[in-house]
């Protein structure tokens, strides 16, 4: 599929610039996701988590007036988007400590792998990932081009043609490293976060070395963060209904349904079986399933 092929090459330029120039510090935290795995949600959680002393009052929290993507920069889209431009992170006010990326493990900057910075990785059932991505792509397509044919997009996804490399290899790369270095890489699934949000928010807090204190627990801080970052809350904020991350990217495109299993409403039985079979073949022997 021509579009996706072009996209893949296009994004490689960003990897290369980021790989060459981003110097990760031990104090940095990096969120890594496959596209449409729940990046927006994870950004909201971690931003709220790491800044909870700074913004103890939910009523004037930045997440109420800014989209999570405006608060946590993407390495490849927001910082290292031009091969000839190297951003001075120290000149930013304040210098960011929390970053995100979709870059596959093998292409991460060396400093991310070698520093003691923490990596939180999030992925999602490939069927829902694909469907979410298909809807998102259609939102970004010029109307004159019409809807991207589902079958065409599906074939490309199955072949592994997507912006940040094949879905299964992306997941496997981080899964293997998370087993080797659990203190460095935390591996999460969207479905599990939906099922037990309180548990996973606490796990991320422990992993990022900022666990909730007994006092915070009894003051309901965990529930405050979960409510603030919930799909219902974020998607109904004015900033996320009418704002824009950039010229062509409307905030509302990051909030569609926020549910597990929506793929069954769009994909045929054959498509579901095909994706399940690929997942089984590529991931089952590594102890990973969706």
Give the active site residues.
Answer: 102
Tell whether residue 164 is a contact of ligand PAP (CB under 6 A). no
Phi, psi of 150 (to 5 degrees): -60, -45
Q: What whole-number distance in Å separates Cα of residue 15 and Cα of residue 70?
A: 20
Tell whether residue 61 is a contact of ligand PAP (CB under 6 A). no
- Minimum CB distance to ligand PAP, residue 46 (Å): 12
Site for ligand PAP in 246-285 (CB under 6 A): 254-258, 262
The correct pick among 29, 76, 125, 128 for binding ligand PAP (CB under 6 A) is 128
Tell whether residue 48 is a contact of ligand PAP (CB under 6 A). no
- Minimum CB distance to ligand PAP, residue 285 (Å): 27
Query: Is the bond preceding 191 in cis, omega lying within 30 degrees of 0?
Result: no
Tell whether residue 39 is a contact of ligand PAP (CB under 6 A). yes
Q: Alpha helix locations (H) across 141-189?
A: 150-159, 167-180
SS3 content of the chain, % helix, strand, coil (to 5): 55, 10, 35
CA 181 to chain centre: 20
Q: What whole-number distance in Å separates Cα of residue 257 and Cα of residue 16?
A: 33
Q: Which two tokens stand for residue 269?
A: 């039985």
- Minimum CB distance to ligand PAP, residue 132 (Å): 3
Tell whether residue 137 is a contact of ligand PAP (CB under 6 A). no
Site for ligand PAP in 195-234 (CB under 6 A): 229-231, 234
Q: Please, what is the end-to-end C-alpha distance for the chain in angstroms? A: 26
The correct pick among 15, 17, 31, 35 for binding ligand PAP (CB under 6 A) is 35
In 3-state terms, what secondary structure has residue 29? strand
- Residues lying near ligand PAP in the complex (CB under 6 A) are found at 33, 35-41, 128, 132, 135, 229-231, 234, 254-258, 262
């Amino acid at each position: 599929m021509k579009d996706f092929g072009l996209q893949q090459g296009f994004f490689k330029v960003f990897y290369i610039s980021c790989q060459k120039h981003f110097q990760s510090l031990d104090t940095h935290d990096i969120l890594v996701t496959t596209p449409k795995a729940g990046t927006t949600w994870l950004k909201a959680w971690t931003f709220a988590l790491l800044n909870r002393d700074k913004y103890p009052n939910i009523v004037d929290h930045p997440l109420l007036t800014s989209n999570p993507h405006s608060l946590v920069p993407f390495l490849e889209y927001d910082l290292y988007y031009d091969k000839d431009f190297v951003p001075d992170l120290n000149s930013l006010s304040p210098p960011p400590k929390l970053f995100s990326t979709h870059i596959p493990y093998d292409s991460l900057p060396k400093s991310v792998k070698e520093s003691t910075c923490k990596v939180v990785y999030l992925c999602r059932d490939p069927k829902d990932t694909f469907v979410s991505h298909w809807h998102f792509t259609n939102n970004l397509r010029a109307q004159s081009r019409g809807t991207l044919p589902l079958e065409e997009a599906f074939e490309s996804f199955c072949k592994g043609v997507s912006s940040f490399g094949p879905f299964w290899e992306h997941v496997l790369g981080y899964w293997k490293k998370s087993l080797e270095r659990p203190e460095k890489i935390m591996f999460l699934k969207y479905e599990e976060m939906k099922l037990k949000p309180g548990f996973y928010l606490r796990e991320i807090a422990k992993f990022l070395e900022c666990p909730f204190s007994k006092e915070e627990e009894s003051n309901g801080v965990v529930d405050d963060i979960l409510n603030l970052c919930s799909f219902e809350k974020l998607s109904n904020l004015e900033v996320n209904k009418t704002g824009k991350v950039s010229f062509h990217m409307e905030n509302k495109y990051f909030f569609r349904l926020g549910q597990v299993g929506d793929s069954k409403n769009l994909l045929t039985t054959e498509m579901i079986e095909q994706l399940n079979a690929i997942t089984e073949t590529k991931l089952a022997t590594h102890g990973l399933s969706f």
